[in-house]
Chains A and B, each alone.
Chain A
Amino acid sequence: MKFANLLPATTVYAHCDLPCGVYDPAQARIEAESVLAICKKYQQYTDKADEVFRTRCIVIKDERAELVKRHLWVLWTDYFKPEHLEAHPQIHDLFWRATKQAGQAKHHTDVETAQKLLELIAEITEVFNATKKA
């Protein structure tokens, strides 16, 4: 065992282990903006010499799109409550389409698919903001 491990120390948290109650569709939007920006770069660098770059684009885009799904699922399942559904009956359909679109963003590299994902997240943001005002 290292000597340092025996020293009395203050624990500093490098994670979130509390149900902190902080929700914001901005998390999904930022990741979706990354997806869009990566798609644009992917379309821009078409030279064979950029093959490695283009491969990295796809890997990172897929990671970001997966994070979009993750953030949307957290919002959908943890934030939205039955009373929100009563006021906004489109919530289930909207999240279903948005998470499906995030899946599409993994399958494709075109800008339009990524843009559509951002538009759906914008719709979710509108509903989210409305629930915050209510």
Chain B
Amino acid sequence: MSIWPLGIYRVAGDSMLPTYQPGDTLLGLRWFTSRPGQVVVAIESGRPVIKRIVSIEDTAITLAGDNPAASTDSRHFGPVHKKQLEAKILVKI
């Protein structure tokens, strides 16, 4: 876990439309308790992805894009481990 509670993220891709557009700059909170419905940054296969938490079962987090037709998410790579979550998105800045 980072010692900095806040992170700045920039969106690349269409999978979070209409919530977030490519190029949007977002403020994320790294110290958080995950809950379904939150938009989070997760590290999947070594790179940060932005998705929404659909469900949580113990430590397994199922993620989905808001725009499923353009999203690679838990339908493809399966649930991620809680430890793979880096931040929850607070606000677009």
Contact = CB atoms under 8 A, between A and B. Distances in A.
Interface stretch (A12-20, A39-47, A86-94, A101-109): A12-20
Nearest to A5: B25
Contacts of B16: 14
A27 B77 CA distance: 12
A9 B10 contact: yes
Contacts of A9: 8-10, 25
A13 B22 CA distance: 9
Interface in B70-84: 70-72, 75-77
A22 interface: yes
Looking at A5, A7, A16, which has the most chain B CB atoms within 10 Å of its CB? Answer: A16
B47 to A, nearest CB: 6
Contacts of B10: 9-12
A61 B43 CA distance: 34
Nearest to A27: B75
Contact of B14 (A15, A20, A22): A15
Interface of B: 7-16, 20, 22-23, 25-26, 41, 45, 47-51, 65, 69-72, 75-77, 93
